[in-house]
Amino acid sequence: MSATANAIANRRPLRGRTALITGATAGIGYETARALACSGARVLVTGRDPANGERATATLARDCGADSAAFLRADHGTVGGNQDLADRVRATVARLDVLVNNVGGLYSHRQETADGYEATLAMNFVGPYTLTAELLPLLTEGGPSRCVNVVSAGFKMWKTDPFTDLHSTDQFVSGDAYAHTKLLNVLASLAWARRLAPDNVTVNLVHPGMSWTPMTASMTAQTIPSMRLIWPVLRFWQRHASPVKAGRRVAFVASSSDTAAYTGRYIEGRAAPNRLSERELDLDNQDLAWTLGEELMTTAPTHHDRQTPGRKVSPR
């Protein structure tokens, strides 16, 4: 290869790779997609609003290459919506090198999805679980491939049993429901990492850091009551935190050769993995969360009762 060709390859090291980033029409998801697209990957971005999707993909195409991005409208709040998205992804690409489960939800009041699930649980846990399960054939097709689940350090704030009051029917506090469901995501992700290791699929978790995004902007002092006394200071830092840096951190975990060997790791703020607590590392907790995800997926009213072509999961 010539020196010029080497230079081009080094600038676009992800050429020929395909990545799906959920909730990527704005905020951290968009900046993650941008970092991957400008490194040469073809990115599929999801969102609810076609107009926002078209604007995002047009900008990515302009800045990163004409064929760098495509938009797929998605309802991530229901099991059936995630299954429909997976069907369209399978119809679009033959393999998937990177799956970034970025989309999430934080709600000011309790609400339920069409499945009858509390919305925070549906968006932060059931949705990512379902999409990962449905896309396994594409992830295992060519290997190695990566699944990166975007979480929050807030999962550490949930101090009680992860498997009680799943739908926040006893009490709903926005920030608590968010922390609870992010913890379930962490536990299930660690179980996925063990199950998919034989298939050459890595599963890692990343806390991208504080940033000013539409979800952050929607927060109020009542979202996390325990922080109401320092809310003005927290709000100041949120407003000055860029989603660009956060997106690049997610993209780093999703694509860097430095993280290629990681699986079942949690990364927060630096390249080296962070130590998780005994609660998260407990294999029984991980397996319970994985089983819970499977149950909530398969028993949801919107679930399409059919076998995903090629879906397989290695023994734990």
Q: What is the pLDDT of residue 269?
A: 75
| For range 193-216, the mean pLDDT | 86
Q: What is the pLDDT of residue 302?
A: 98
**Domain boundaries in the chain?**
3-298
Alpha carbons 177 and 186: distance in angstroms, whole number: 14
Half-sphere exposure at residue 301, Cβ-oriented, CA atoms within 13 angstroms: 7
Q: Which residues are bridge partners to 146 per DSSP?
A: 98, 202
Type of residue numbered 73: R
Q: What is the pLDDT of residue 267?
A: 96
Q: Beta-strand (E) ranges in the chain?
A: 18-21, 42-47, 69-73, 98-101, 145-150, 201-207, 266-268
- 147-202 confidence digits (pLDDT tens): 999 999 999 999 999 999 999 999 999 999 999 999 999 999 999 999 999 999 99
Cβ-based neighbour number of residue 238 at 10 Å: 16
Residues with Cβ within 8 Å of residue 270, at least 6 apart in sequence: none
Asked if 169 and 277 touch (Cβ cutoff 8 Å), the reply is: no
Percentage of the residues of the chain whose pLDDT score is greater than 90: 76
| For range 76-100, the mean pLDDT | 97
The number of residues making up the chain comes to 316
- 109-149 confidence digits (pLDDT tens): 999 999 999 999 999 999 999 999 999 999 998 779 999 99
Q: What is the pLDDT of residue 217?
A: 61
Instruction: Give the confidence band of 222 by pLDDT, cuts at 50, 70, 90.
Output: low
Alpha carbons 262 and 203: distance in angstroms, whole number: 8
Whether residue 144 has a cis bond before it, omega within 30° of 0: yes
Q: What is the pLDDT of residue 83?
A: 98
Asked if 26 and 56 touch (Cβ cutoff 8 Å), the reply is: yes
- 9-44 confidence digits (pLDDT tens): 446 789 999 999 999 999 999 999 999 999 999 999
| CATH fold for domain 3-298 | Rossmann fold (3.40.50)
Instruction: Give the confidence band of 1 by pLDDT, cuts at 50, 70, 90.
Output: very low
Residue 85, both tokens: 């998205």
Query: Considering 107, 117, 178, 262, which one is annotated as catalytic?
Result: 178
One-letter-per-residue 3-state SS of 99-112:
EEECCCCCCCCCCE
The helix (H) or strand (E) run that includes residue 121 is: helix 119-121
- 259-296 confidence digits (pLDDT tens): 999 999 999 977 789 999 999 999 999 999 999 999 99
Is the pLDDT assigned to residue 233 strictly greater than 90? Answer: no
Identify whether 178 is a catalytic site residue: yes
3-state secondary structure of 267: strand
